[in-house]
Amino acid sequence: MTTPADHDHKPSNFLRQIIENDLSLDTYAHRRWAGSPGDAAHHAAGQPDPAKIRTRFPPEPNGYLHVGHAKSICLNFGLARDYGGVCHMRFDDTNPEKEDTEYVNSILDAVQWLGFGWQANGTSHLYQASDYFGFMYRAAEYLVEAGHAYVDEQTPEEMRVNRGDFGKPGVNSPFRSRTPAENLARFRDMRDGKLADGAAVLRAKIDMASPNINMRDPAIYRIRRATHHHTGDQWCIYPMYTFAHPIEDALEQITHSICTLEFEDQRPFYDWLMARLIEGGLLASPPPKQYEFARLNLTYVITSKRKLAQLVNEHKVSGWDDPRMPTIVGLRRRGYTPESIQLFAERIGVTKSDSWIDYSTLEGCLREDLENKAHRGMAVLDPVKLVLTNWAEVFGSEAYTEDCHAPVLPHHGDDQPAPALRHFKIGNAVWIEREDFAEVPPKGYKRLFPGNVVRLKAGYVIECTGCVKDANGHITEVHAKVIPNTKSGTPGADSVKAKAAITWVSVADGVSADVRLYDRLFTEAQPDAGGKDFLASLNPNSLQVVSAFVEPSLAAALPDQKFQFERHGYFVADRLDHAASKPVFNKVTGLRDTWGK
Ligand code: ATP
Ligand code: MG
């Protein structure tokens, strides 16, 4: 099995092969790094780059990160870590309309929580693309002067029609033959606010007949009067993503620019732009290269910030950190650990073709991570009272209680030190699961029914005698007799054979708790595939809150502490709502995979 710790045994993939090949060929060995992002001259004056490779994680700060981003974070930071490189944390904040500082902080938190950082070689590699607006403008002027870009003043509709389509080559714009001097003057008019929003765009001059529509003179700058969260009203023109992104990579001396498959058709433009700006002496060589991998699609989950925002804004969930949300804050509150998410990213690997990963894979990683580290405890989620009717007779008083204990973690073999223990009391009444008693036992039933003998786990062996019902026939109490001298761990405890061991919590020291039982948020495996209305398949039963009883060691949990509730699965003390006086637990997942069963 691969864990995040043993890098040497990681399965290879096409990206690892590309990097290993580049390292063996010294493709990037002679680069220089000036200690901060910059143009060719800036880096030429710097030191040989101490980083063998540079990758980047470049989110747009327009929402909270989700499990798909987690894959990208683990991939980019993980490759840099494994190959002596550095991964840059970069906010791709070139689009002024949708961005917000609230998201910036949540994104930084998410990356750090997942176990990664951007400090390396004494430098904080935390960047924002809007800091490069000045260079981007200069690069655009260079393209204009070199005859590689022109200001197009066709209407958006004319531009759309003249772009052509798959089967039809595009038609040159009447503005395409303007001289560099005319274009420069007009581009400066754009910058200086002399043209209305949408009245003109700057386009790269490439080939209107290219079979790749992205190469048919793509727009690289547009006019948009919008206040940017970082640069304010300094600019009324903004670079297009396809122009901005390669430049961001190049200024930061990125070597391997890893993105999702939908950008594959943009790669020729990426390379075209790099070549032009290196020719002009603006960017250092060798340029970064773009590689595409398949995005994560997870069954029963939506991975689109826009759609997740809709769930929040329409109050379908309690917020971005609702434990049913696939956001990193949601997964965290649900009880997922950074290690389990890293393991998941490692296990699903990277491929070149789109596929769906089963949600149970993510849950399996969580179980694997928590199996040996989550403390055990007993909780009764659907309680009914069990009264030990001979208690006073055996122990001298109804009020008498006795200490019991059990290991906090399962004990693995005699060569290990004695396990730490948790303590709880047993008295004349305990809470048991309602399903652990049957007045008339179904075939093969081994738990409580009149005449049957079972063990209260880590406590006494008892013999069931019957039950009490209310006027409606609803069982209000189960009755049993305690069998003396059978307490677990005492001499002769096993002299009476029990048919089963059941979990319980004492009425004497059990603490009442709210336990939130979660189910998948959607009833369909691919809730938004093919443009489907994902809100139509929201699961109305995705949250059920039960009043449970938990043993004292669970009530004393720290917020965010994970447990295995014996027989029920993995639970976490809610980060925000849990208190020792009023415990609140979230169910992370069951003990075994029950999906589709
Ligand atoms: P969304 O559509 O949810 O807004 P996005 O791709 O627009 O996602 P960005 O903030 O631009 O979000 O993404 C930052 C990085 O995360 C990008 O490099 C992107 O490729 C990667 N990423 C986003 N979604 C996924 C996914 N489902 N699987 C893998 N990587 C992803
Ligand atoms: Mg995006």
In tens, the pLDDT along 18-39 reads: 999 999 999 999 999 999 999 9
CA angle, 97 then 243 then 88, to 5°? 80
Atom 2 of ligand 1: nearest residue by CA position: 304
Which atom of ligand 1 is the closest one to the Cα of 71? 29
Q: Which two tokens stand for residue 396?
A: 């001298």
Query: Which pLDDT value is given to residue 596?
Result: 47
Reply yes or no on domain 5-130+242-296 having CATH 3.40.190.10. no
Distance in Å, CA 164 to ligand 2 centroid: 26
DSSP code at position 572: E
Edge-to-edge, what's the strand order for the sheet holding 54-57? Answer: 54-57, 86-91, 126-128
Query: Which pLDDT value is given to residue 96?
Result: 85
Distance of CA 213 to the CA centre of its chain: 34
Alpha helices per DSSP H over 204-283: 241-251, 267-279
Which atom of ligand 1 is the closest one to the Cα of 308? 3
Query: Which pLDDT value is given to residue 594?
Result: 65
Ligand 1 neighbourhood includes 94 CB (under 6 angstroms): no
Q: Which two tokens stand for residue 446?
A: 């081994």
For a ligand 1 pocket test, name from 67, 69, 104, 350 the mutation site with the most ligand atoms within 8 angstroms of its C-beta.
Answer: 69
Query: Which pLDDT value is given to residue 102?
Result: 85
Atom 12 of ligand 1: nearest residue by CA position: 59
Distance CA 545, CA 478 (A): 24
Q: Which ligand neighbours the alpha carbon of 345 most closely? A: 1
Query: Which pLDDT value is given to residue 5?
Result: 45
Query: Which pLDDT value is given to residue 475?
Result: 97
Distance CA 522, CA 537 (A): 5
Ligand 1 neighbourhood includes 72 CB (under 6 angstroms): yes
Distance CA 50, CA 123 (A): 11
Distance in Å, CA 305 to ligand 2 centroid: 8
Active-site option among 54, 81, 305, 587: 305
Distance in Å, CA 57 to ligand 2 centroid: 12
Mean pLDDT of 201-223: 98
| pLDDT of 2 above 70 | no
Active-site option among 60, 153, 368, 566: 60
Each residue's pLDDT tens digit, 296-317? 999 999 999 999 999 999 999 9
Q: Which two tokens stand for residue 101?
A: 């500082």
Distance CA 131, CA 109 (A): 22
> What residues does CATH 2.40.240.10 cover in the chain?
379-503
Distance CA 351, CA 453 (A): 55
Helix/strand/coil for 391: helix
Distance in Å, CA 531 to ligand 1 centroid: 18
pLDDT band at residue 99 under the 50/70/90 scheme? low
Ligand 1 neighbourhood includes 289 CB (under 6 angstroms): no
Handedness of CA 103, 106, 112, 116 (dihedral sign): negative
Query: Which pLDDT value is given to residue 410?
Result: 84
Active-site option among 188, 295, 457, 499: 295
Quick check: is 224 catalytic? Answer: no
Q: Which ligand neighbours the alpha carbon of 262 most closely? A: 1
Name the nearest CA neighbour of 520 among 329, 368, 328, 359: 359
Buried b (16+ CB within 10 A) or exposed e, 517-530: bbebbbebbbbbee
Distance in Å, CA 255 to ligand 2 centroid: 21
Longest CA–CA span in the chain (Å) reads 106
Atom 22 of ligand 1: nearest residue by CA position: 69
Helix/strand/coil for 348: helix
Ligand 1 neighbourhood includes 60 CB (under 6 angstroms): yes
Which atom of ligand 1 is the closest one to the Cα of 258? 18
pLDDT band at residue 6 under the 50/70/90 scheme? very low
Each residue's pLDDT tens digit, 513-571? 999 999 999 999 999 998 899 999 999 999 999 999 999 999 999 999 999 999 999 99
Ligand 1 neighbourhood includes 163 CB (under 6 angstroms): no
Residue at 45: amino acid letter: A
Atom 14 of ligand 1: nearest residue by CA position: 59
Q: If you average pLDDT over every residue of the chain, what do you get? A: 95
Q: Which ligand neighbours the alpha carbon of 68 most closely? A: 1
Distance in Å, CA 345 to ligand 2 centroid: 20
Mean pLDDT of 235-240: 97
Distance in Å, CA 66 to ligand 2 centroid: 12
H or E element at residue 221: strand 219-223
Each residue's pLDDT tens digit, 331-376? 999 999 999 999 999 999 999 998 899 999 999 999 999 999 999 9
Distance in Å, CA 496 to ligand 2 centroid: 66
Distance CA 190, CA 525 (A): 48
Which atom of ligand 1 is the closest one to the Cα of 305? 3
Distance CA 198, CA 217 (A): 17
> What residues does CATH 3.40.50.620 cover in the chain?
5-130+242-296
Ligand 1 neighbourhood includes 305 CB (under 6 angstroms): yes
Helix/strand/coil for 326: coil
Ligand 1 neighbourhood includes 542 CB (under 6 angstroms): no
CATH of domain 134-239: 3.90.800.10
- What are the Cα distances from residue 584, in Å, to 38, 97, 560, 563? 51, 39, 10, 13
Each residue's pLDDT tens digit, 128-187? 999 999 999 999 999 999 999 999 999 999 999 999 999 999 999 999 999 999 999 999
Place domain 305-374+513-550+564-589 in its CATH homologous superfamily.
Answer: Glutamyl-trna Synthetase; Domain 2 (1.10.1160.10)
The answer, yes or no, to whether the previous bond of 286 is cis (omega within 30 of 0) is yes
pLDDT band at residue 595 under the 50/70/90 scheme? low
Q: Which ligand neighbours the alpha carbon of 293 most closely? A: 1
pLDDT band at residue 10 under the 50/70/90 scheme? confident
> What residues does CATH 3.90.800.10 cover in the chain?
134-239
Q: Which residues contact 446 (CB under 8 A, 6 or more apart)?
A: 452, 454, 499, 500
Contact (Cβ atoms closer than 8 angstroms) between residue 52 and residue 85: yes
pLDDT band at residue 107 under the 50/70/90 scheme? very high
Ligand 1 neighbourhood includes 521 CB (under 6 angstroms): no
Q: Which ligand neighbours the alpha carbon of 263 most closely? A: 1
Quick check: is 305 catalytic? Answer: yes
Alpha helices per DSSP H over 146-266: 156-162, 180-191, 241-251
Quick check: is 60 catalytic? Answer: yes
Q: Which two tokens stand for residue 359?
A: 């949600």
Distance in Å, CA 69 to ligand 1 centroid: 5
Ligand 1 neighbourhood includes 59 CB (under 6 angstroms): yes
CATH number for domain 379-503, candidates 3.60.21.10, 2.40.240.10, 1.20.200.10, 3.40.50.300: 2.40.240.10
For a ligand 1 pocket test, name from 64, 72, 348 the mutation site with the most ligand atoms within 8 angstroms of its C-beta.
Answer: 72
Q: Rounded to two decimals, what is the model's pTM?
A: 0.94
Q: Which two tokens stand for residue 588?
A: 């992370």
Ligand 1 neighbourhood includes 68 CB (under 6 angstroms): yes
